[in-house]
Amino acid sequence: MTNLHISIIQTDLVWENIPANLEHLDEKINQVPNGTHIVVLPEMFSTGFSMQPELLAETMQGNTIEWMKRWAARKKIIVTGSLIITENKQFYNRLIWRLPNGQMGKYDKRHCFSYAGENKHYTPGNSRFIASVNGWKINMQICYDLRFPVWARQQSINPPEYDVLIYVANWPEKRIHAWKSLLMARAIENQCYVIGVNRVGVDGNGFVHSGDSMAINPLGDALWHEVNREAIGNITLDKQFLQEIRQKFPFLSDADTFTLYP
């Protein structure tokens, strides 16, 4: 049973400035310790949560994708986070899962944040993305998806569909109670580890972000939590502990069956 080492990068973002953000993140990723499996960046880590995809969108062959590829290969890590992508004349808030061998996975944000007009600029995704790393199954989601528990719910019981649920976000401080409460709820109800990676600082619209990035165990207990500053959290997830909790408290076996449609 191999433990999983994840580095959370809670960072400020320079509004709509891709080169500045990548340069800043160079310093952060360079500090990640050897032996890390996954480095997680916030939502729209290269721009901030912008509603100007016409000006900022990149292709799947663009500079930021290549930047992720270089760091994954150099540090022998998986680099993940979301950015603005254009494809087939559509815009997506797309999470990229970049492996050190050059391979790549992707997840398009399913729930576009209509309160901020995201649904007017971006096309929603229609499928989940669950990755495999060293015997772990990892479900990747983005920010507003957190408010919709059905999209994250375990769909299989023996074994459970996934072991870790990761949210990358630009979640404002004024609604941070919901962020923290829902992260804990997702961990408890799905009997999994939950990682929430949020930004800090003030964005171009004047919204303040406190970070409050967290790593939470299957009982809902916080393993790591940082507020109001840039920070790197190096977290070890214990597979044996996860299995023991699921065996001791087999609550998922009583769950309702359902079929998830996009």
Indicate whether 262 pLDDT > 70.
Answer: no
- To the query of whether residue 192 is one of the catalytic residues in this protein, the response is no
Gap between the Cα atoms of 42 and 166, Å rounded: 11
- Given phi > 0 = left and psi -120 to 50 = alpha, else beta, which region is 190? alpha
- Non-local (6+) Cβ contacts of 207 within 8 A are 172, 173, 174
Which two structure tokens, joined as six digits, stand for 72? 């994954």
Helices (H), 59-175: 63-75, 118-121, 149-152
Count the helix, strand and coil residues of the chain and give each as a percent rounded to the nearest 5. 30, 30, 40
Band (pLDDT 50/70/90 cuts) for residue 193 is very high
Gap between the Cα atoms of 234 and 218, Å rounded: 18
pLDDT tens digit sequence for 208-244? 999 999 999 999 999 999 999 999 999 999 999 999 9
Domains of the chain: 4-252 (3.60.110.10)
Indicate whether 1 pLDDT > 90.
Answer: no
pLDDT of residue 25: 98
Q: Find how far residue 218's CA is from the centre of its chain.
A: 17
**DSSP run (H or E) holding 247:** helix 239-248
In single-letter form, the type of residue at position 189 comes to: E
Widest pairwise Cα distance in the chain: 52
Q: Name the active-site residue from 69, 75, 106, 109.
A: 109
Q: Name the active-site residue from 106, 118, 143, 192.
A: 143
- To the query of whether residue 143 is one of the catalytic residues in this protein, the response is yes
Band (pLDDT 50/70/90 cuts) for residue 134 is very high
pLDDT of residue 119: 98
Q: Name the active-site residue from 16, 43, 118, 226.
A: 43
Q: Average the pLDDT over 109-124 and give the result.
A: 98
pTM, 2 dp: 0.97
Band (pLDDT 50/70/90 cuts) for residue 258 is confident
Strands (E), the chain: 4-10, 38-40, 78-87, 90-98, 104-108, 129-133, 136-142, 164-169, 193-198, 200-202, 208-216, 222-227, 231-237
Mean of the per-residue pLDDT values of the chain: 97
Percent of the chain with pLDDT over 70: 99
Of residues 72, 77, 11, the one with CA closest to residue 44: 11
- To the query of whether residue 23 is one of the catalytic residues in this protein, the response is no
Which two structure tokens, joined as six digits, stand for 96? 């990229």
pLDDT tens digit sequence for 142-192? 999 999 999 999 998 889 999 999 999 999 999 999 999 999 999 999 999
Q: Average the pLDDT over 53-74 and give the result.
A: 98
pLDDT of residue 257: 86
